Structure 1
Amino acid sequence: MLGVIFAVKLRKTDNYLIPINDEPMVKIIEERLRQAKRVEDVITLVKKGQERKYSLHVSNVRPVKGKTVVDALLEGLPPGGDIFLIKGDKPLVMPFLINYMTSLYLEEFLDALIPRWKNGEAEVFHAVYNVRALRNALGGMKAEGEKDIRKLPEYIDAEFLEIEELMKKNEKVWWSFFTVKTSEDLRKVLLSGLV
């Protein structure tokens, strides 16, 4: 299985190189993905022109020109197989959770396994996908002019994992979905004791 880190800077506020203990977030994510049992390799999708900057920190950089999340993913996805897709702002992604998710995904022969919060919000950037099914779903979104990646579950035959149920078994699950965007978020990560 391939780990795919989405680190395409589409907005000025996107910053996947925020340092945490002197390591860029995206590098920490790559290291955590490599700790998962079924992730054999990792690629990082970046905006065309930023590949040199990222290649200093991660091993396999794939530049994309897409100006939307849908276009960037369509361009950057591998031709086939299965992927674990994570956004480059989730530095505490938990290898044990990736192991659990990939096991379920492979046992059930799913097109997608997407974690979901009780309020219905799906974590599409912390999920396991069959590339063919994901490519078809993204193509459908593009054909209908849908740019909001949060609508992806409407276009793909997905099974959902209830996050709160997982948190009852292990409270660290919550940190796997924690997004770092501000200095306050960074402070929380540093105080978590998980880095």
Structure 2
Amino acid sequence: MKSLEQLIDTQDDAIVQIQAWQKDAQLAVTLLPAAANSGAQLQQLQITTHSVLGALVYHTGGVLIADGWLRFLGSGSAQLPRDVVSWNSDNSGYLLVADDLVGGFFAINGGALGSDVGALYYLSPDSTDWEPLEVAFSDFFQWSMSENLLQFYADLGIDSLLNEYRHISCEQALHFYPPLWSQEGNISSSNRRLVPVTELRALKLA
């Protein structure tokens, strides 16, 4: 196992690039303060801060995009209590790295989702299957700071939902009934309520 000193890239730490992306972002981007045990989490994951994910874990408690519509996990914070290590303690064959207001989950494939290990997948609220995004995690992270994200979520009503739920807790997400993946489900007509993200995870990823 590599030591923490070996995992911190002092020459090319990705946090520098992340901060540059934040500065140029078209959407609101909030870097949350890192948890006190971020170093221990980084060492447990055994990834370096040269990677975007490693830098997020070590340097941030998570990152909020578009006022919390999209939540990238880091080492956890008061505003975003989920952290990459504890949120993936079940060793399910993929690494959950982000989630969103509409109850979707993002994961890096560890082998359970297909042969493309390391690829980024999305479990949308209108689907029961993980969908490959065919883009690296770091590229999607940068891309999500642009107005392209609004197009990604256009079918899920991002414009109206953002206005309605702009100040909700990042511990919550929307649950739709009938489910959006069902024949009866529809983003406009399905009933929706805020539930804990932990509850949605239990429902969708059990």
TM-score normalized by the length of structure 2? 0.30
Report which of the two structures shows the higher radius of gyration computed on alpha carbons. 2
TM-score normalized by the length of structure 1? 0.31
Structure that is richer in helix per residue: 1
Question: Which of the pair has the greater relative contact order for Cα pairs under 8 Å at 6+ separation?
Answer: 1
